[in-house]
Each structure stands twice: as C-alpha cells, then as structure tokens.
C-alpha cells in the first residue's frame, strides 16, 4: 500500500483532517511559513535583478526535520496549505525547504479546499495540481515591496524622529486616511438648520400624528436660520391642516449577500463589538475545527479570507432545501442576491458561510465558547438570510397642506418578514402606526401645536475599525488578509488611539504622517497604492510580470529615501530643556517622547527617576477660571485642551480655545481652520479670522 503525507499550515487542522482519511495517510503541520526574508538585512539582491534571499525561520528547524522524516516514509506528498496566494507561497517554500522538487520517485501535489469537511478534503485529493507559480509570484512581490518600504523608510524615521517607529506600504496609507479624516473634522464648520413638526389630531386617534415640515408646491424646503423659521410660522397662523394626498403602496427589502472578510469584520464590530483582530482570530478557529458534541472536531465555516460572495451550487441547494423545510416554500428566494461588482474579486473563493446549514447555532451552542458561538450565529444567520425571500412592507405616505406649505407623514407595516425571520440588522427594525391607514384626501386635521428644534450639521464621523475597513476596501487599499493586521499595527505603534470604538490620530501619528507625505508622497497616495494592488492581482492572474513591477518600484523609492536623508530635518520631540525644576534633585527637567507622547523626565536618570506629565502652553487663559489652557492627552494619546489648574478646574475642549468671546452669546470661541466658531451648541456663530 502506498503511503501518503498531507502537510497543512495549522496544527489545529491536523486532528480534523486526520479523521477524514485512512490509516495510510499521515497529516502534519508546518505551523505557517517555514522560510522568509532575513530580519537582519533587506534580503533582496538589488544587484542581481531583485532576487529574494530566503532563509529558514528561526525555530522552524525542528518542524522541518520532522517533516523530512515523514517525507522519506511517504510515496505521495500533498501540500494542503490555505487556498490563497499566501497558502500557495507556503506550499512553494515547503517544496524548496524539503527539497521535494529534487525527491526522486516521490509524487508531490498541491491540493486546496475551501472548507474542512470530509467531502471537501476527499474531493481535493481527487483533483491534485501543480503549484500555481503566478500566485506564488504575487505573494513574493507583495512581500518584497513591503520589505523595501519598511526597511528603507523605517531607519529614516528612527534617525529623524525616534527608534521603534515603522513605515509600511499599506499601514502608512491607512494612517494617512485617518489623518485626512481628522483634518476634515477639525476644519468642519457646522451650519445651523431647524426642524419643524406639526402635532395633528384626527378625531379617531388617541395620540396626535407627528408630521414633519416638507416644503411647498415647488418642492422640499430647508429651514436654515431662525428668521426663516419665524417667517414660516407667521404664514402658518390660522391656516387649516388638510390631508392633501394619501399614497398606499408596497416596499420590498432585499436580503443581504453572504459575508466577505470585510463585511464580516464590519458587522461583527457593529453588532458584537469585536475588533477586526478578534473577529479573524475567532473565525480562524471556526474554520480550522472545533469540538462539537456528538460530531467530534469539525470545521464550522468556510475559508475566512475572501472578497467573493459566490456560493458553491451544492451549498446553495442545501440552504434552499433547509429553508423550505423549516420556514416554508414562500421563504425560499427565487434568485441569488446581487453580487459585488467593480473591484477585482478572487472568485475562486467562496463567501464565508457555514459548512453545513443544518448545523444550526442552537445545536452547537453548548459546544462553543460564548464569543465563538456569537460569531458562528452571525455567519449562519447571514448565509441563511441570503437564500431567503425579500421582506415586504405595506407603506402609507401622507401629505398635509397648510396654506402654501406641506407637511409629510409616512408609515410602514411589515406584511411578510421573509429573510428578516432569521436576520435583522439595526436599520431593519421599523414598525410604524396603523393610524395613517384611516386618513383620506380632503380630511381636515386639528393642529394641537407646532414644535421647532434647532440643529447643526455634523462633521464626518471619526473612523472606527469597521468603517476604516470599509473605506480601505472601497479605495482598493489592501486585501482581505491585510485589513486586520494593518489596523492592529498602527494601534500598536501608537500612531492611532482607539477610544469608544473611534480611531484618533496621536501626536506621534501626525509627525510620522507628515514626514511620509512630504518625502514619500507616492507611498501614501491612495490611487498609487490601489493601482499597486491591481498589479499584484495581475501577477496572480499571470498577466503581469512580477520583476517588472519591482524594477519600476525600487529606484524611485531609493531616490526618495536618499533625498529625505539629506533634506528632512530631525523632528525635535525629545530631550528639549524645560523650565520645570526637578523637585527631587534640582536639575532642569527635559522633554522626552514616549509611547503616549511628550513627558518631563529628570536628566539625572538612572540616579533620579522622577517623571511628570508635560503640558505645552497655549497662551490662552482658561474660559472658566483664568489660569492657562494647556495641551493635554488622553491615556491613549488623543490630544485635547484642558486647564492647568485641573482637578480644581474641569475645563476641556477638543478644539483650541480662542481669547475672542462670541459677540452673539458671550461664550468662548474655538479655532476651526481660518475661522472662529462659538463653543455654545445652541449658538453656532461663525467668525472669519481675517475680519476679526
């Protein structure tokens, strides 16, 4: 009997796969990559056409030695690493490290499966293939470009700012996106607007109907200033409120498409409050296999790194059959939901879905830890919903006339829940009054009162992990496998602080971003980076030569680094003398730069270890107590303005306060670009600095 060896990436898969195969099969794991570029040097031979220099990763010697012994015993070796370009590269590195391409009399095959189930694994053994060198080259190119950027620019940041910093081909663009959003928010000038609602009584209704001001016969009208509101209120005095138009109809809400890596990360963040990193860690466990009572170790979901929404025909049919049996024929979708388009999609992959639709969340709940269960339940419900009918709402839209003005009311009632019987998102939770059903055109309503409320337009929201992933995907920055590690890196480097889900750029992040924009504009250019992703995809498809991409990339980068080394001035963020005297030893304290920003330290270290917070003075008196306003930072590094007399005075502001008082209400004003804005939420007065 022939002996077979199956090599997978993760030890967690070994147990799951071994039970699917017979006694002649040995299953072992490489524990991820076994070879990589050396850490001590660039590892790319610039003089010899950019050939990478690979070495065995430290600690992988014993694993390779064990695998070599298994190779000797086997007649056929199956390289069964993950079904993406990273997995393809690991298989190629295994082949080189184990010298499988030189092994006489042994058959070496590449197999891949999108889910770790008995059918998928056995089917892959019947369809062995050669290693796809296009995918390997795509991964190699990504690794080489990332190494070139990191190893060329990071030493510059060490020299000009401080040690321990890093730049990255994708991480630096993600940081730039966050900085750009911060600048948008800082420069945003709120604009005043008013809402006007009429509370109307219909004799048969217990509660008044709340109708929102719409406009006039010409169309929608926005109420900007208080003067506009007062003019409208004056015109409405004494006017009867008559139902002008009643429209009844039907609205359908289409089911969601199955999860991709990006949408799973976004939805898990919104509904489960998971970070992108946590979502991927849990999804990896569900994919590799978990112990389920009565079934042993099984993989519960398909491969977790994908940008495709395609579903295998077998899984699609199984889902439709399950839905028909458990919910009824009317709940089965007549067609597949619309798929993503536009960006390049690796359609060889499937969407993220349960491997077995009949294995419901309720059946596995007792076998899974709480968070694993919650993520599996989310994936199961989303996939089931994607194969179900649309939800149907009965709708009523009413326009009420008062003089020349119109007010609008609308309501909807869920007539058929369809996919919402399984999967309801926050925005789907709507159910409104049946009171409108009784209204007919020409009916006069009694005005109880008019209610007005002042509002101001809001700045763009700070990025969250979920919204940053969405923006990166829309811009073509990174790929499914890079979203989570990119965000994790910029937070770990303290370029970005995460507070209450929101991402804020730190002072350190601002410094690094400024240096990158000034010296390496193409590296942090969104279009350039997106185009590079398309080229990498082209290499994977065999339409672009990988060496051509590297040859075109490196010389410009090298030239920019050399120029920056000569022209970029050092950023003095450490060891400046301050006016503070160390109360322990009498030395003049110095300003140092730590992970959270600037702080004061005694220069007598290590004899004197005294440190204290450093607050940059602004020259602005505190609006509350008259002491000086200083620049402070939250524990995570976000900058704000507070009183030096804290905790006696609790003044704080996210924007820099001004010495100018608002001429309208007397509140202090804050700086917003080239304007001053009243700090009072109910005033909204704006002053141009040039006419101050």
Q: Catalytic residue numbers?
A: 303
Residue with tokens 């994790």: 488
Which H or E run contains 491? Answer: helix 483-492
φ/ψ bin of 246: left (φ > 0), alpha (ψ from -120 to 50), beta (otherwise) = beta
Strands 107-110 and 76-79: parallel
In a 10 Å sphere around its CB, with 0-12 CB exposed, 13-18 middle and 19+ buried, how is residue 391 labelled? buried
Question: Which neighbouring-strand residues pair with 588?
Answer: 581
- Give CA–CA dist 305/308, Å, rounded: 9
Which residues, 6 or more positions from 302, have their beta carbon under 8 angstroms from its beta carbon? Answer: 114, 115, 287, 350, 351, 352, 353, 354, 355
DSSP state of 296: E
Q: Sign of torsion, CA 297 302 303 304?
A: negative
Torsion of CA 639, 644, 648, 652, to 10 degrees: -30
CA atoms within 13 A on the CB side of 270: 16
- Give CA–CA dist 131/109, Å, rounded: 8
Phi then psi for residue 198, to 5 deg, are: -110, 125
- Give CA–CA dist 265/307, Å, rounded: 12
Which residues, 6 or more positions from 467, have their beta carbon under 8 angstroms from its beta carbon? Answer: 266, 461
- What the block records as the tokens of 521 is 């504009």
In a 10 Å sphere around its CB, with 0-12 CB exposed, 13-18 middle and 19+ buried, how is residue 342 labelled? exposed
Radius of gyration of the chain (CA): 31
Residue with tokens 């107590």: 625
Strands 444-456 and 44-45: unpaired
């Amino acid at each position: 009997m022939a002996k077979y060896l199956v090599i997978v990436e993760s030890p967690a898969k070994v147990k799951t796969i071994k039970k699917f195969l017979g006694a002649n099969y040995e299953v072992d794991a490489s524990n991820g990559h076994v070879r990589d570029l050396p850490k001590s040097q660039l590892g790319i031979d610039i003089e010899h056409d950019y050939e990478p220099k690979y070495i065995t990763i430290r600690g992988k010697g014993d694993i390779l030695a064990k695998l070599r012994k298994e190779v000797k015993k086997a007649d056929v070796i199956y390289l069964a690493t993950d079904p993406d370009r990273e997995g393809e590269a690991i298989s190629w590195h295994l082949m080189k490290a184990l010298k499988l391409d030189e092994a006489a009399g042994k058959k070496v095959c590449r197999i891949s499966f999108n889910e770790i189930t008995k059918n998928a694994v056995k089917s892959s053994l019947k369809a062995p293939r050669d290693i796809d060198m296009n995918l390997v080259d795509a991964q190699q190119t990504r690794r080489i470009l990332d190494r070139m950027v990191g190893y060329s620019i990071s030493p510059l940041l060490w020299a000009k700012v401080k040690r321990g910093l890093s730049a990255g081909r994708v991480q630096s663009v993600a940081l730039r996106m966050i900085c750009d959003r911060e600048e948008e928010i800082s420069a945003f000038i709120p604009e005043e607007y008013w809402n006007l609602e009429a509370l109307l009584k219909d004799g048969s209704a217990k509660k008044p109907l709340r109708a929102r001001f719409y406009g006039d016969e010409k169309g929608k009208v926005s109420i900007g200033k208080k003067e506009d509101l007062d003019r409208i209120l004056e015109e409405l005095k004494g006017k009867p409120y008559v139902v002008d138009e009643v429209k009844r109809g039907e609205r359908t809400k289409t089911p969601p498409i199955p999860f991709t890596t990006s949408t799973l990360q976004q939805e898990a963040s919104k509904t489960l409050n998971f970070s992108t990193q946590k979502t991927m860690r849990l999804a990896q466990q569900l994919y590799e296999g978990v112990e389920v009572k009565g079934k042993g170790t099984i993989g519960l979901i398909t491969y977790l790194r994908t940008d495709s929404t395609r579903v295998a025909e077998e899984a699609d049919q199984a889902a439709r059959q399950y839905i028909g049996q458990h919910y009824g024929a009317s709940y089965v979708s007549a067609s597949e939901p619309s798929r993503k388009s536009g960006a390049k999609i690796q359609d060889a992959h499937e969407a993220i879905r349960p491997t077995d639709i009949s294995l419901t969340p309720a059946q596995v709940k007792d076998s899974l830890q709480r968070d694993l269960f919650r993520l599996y339940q989310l994936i199961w419900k989303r996939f089931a919903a994607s194969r179900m009918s649309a939800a149907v709402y009965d709708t009523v839209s009413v326009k009420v006339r008062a003089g020349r003005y119109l007010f609008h009311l609308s309501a909807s009632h869920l007539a058929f829940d369809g996919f919402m019987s399984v999967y309801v998102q926050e925005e789907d939770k709507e159910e409104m009054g049946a009171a409108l059903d009784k209204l007919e055109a020409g009916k006069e309503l009694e005005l109880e009162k008019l209610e007005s409320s002042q509002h101001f337009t809001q700045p763009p929201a700070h990025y969250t992990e979920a919204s940053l992933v969405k923006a990166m995907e829309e811009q073509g920055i990174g790929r499914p496998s890079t979203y989570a590690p990119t965000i994790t890196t910029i937070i770990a480097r303290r370029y970005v602080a995460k507070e209450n889900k929101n991402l804020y750029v730190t002072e350190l992040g601002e410094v690094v971003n400024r240096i990158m924009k000034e010296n390496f504009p193409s590296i942090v250019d969104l279009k350039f980076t997106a185009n590079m992703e398309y080229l990498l995809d082209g290499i994977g498809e065999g339409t672009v030569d990988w060496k051509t991409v590297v040859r075109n990339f490196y010389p410009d980068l090298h030239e920019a680094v050399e120029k920056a080394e000569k022209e970029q001035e050092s950023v003095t963020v450490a060891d400046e003398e301050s006016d503070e005297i160390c109360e322990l030893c009498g030395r003049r304290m110095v300003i140092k730069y730590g992970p959270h920003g600037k702080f004061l330290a005694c220069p007598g270290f290590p004899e004197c270890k005294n440190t204290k917070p450093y607050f940059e003075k602004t020259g602005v008196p505190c609006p509350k107590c008259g002491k000086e306003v200083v620049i402070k930072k939250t524990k995570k590094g976000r900058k704000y303005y507070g009183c030096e007399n804290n905790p006696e005075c609790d003044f704080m502001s996210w924007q820099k306060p001004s010495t100018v008082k608002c001429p309208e209400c007397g509140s202090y004003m804050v700086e917003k670009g080239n304007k001053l804005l009243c700090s009072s939420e109910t005033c909204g007065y704006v002053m141009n600095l040039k006419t101050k």
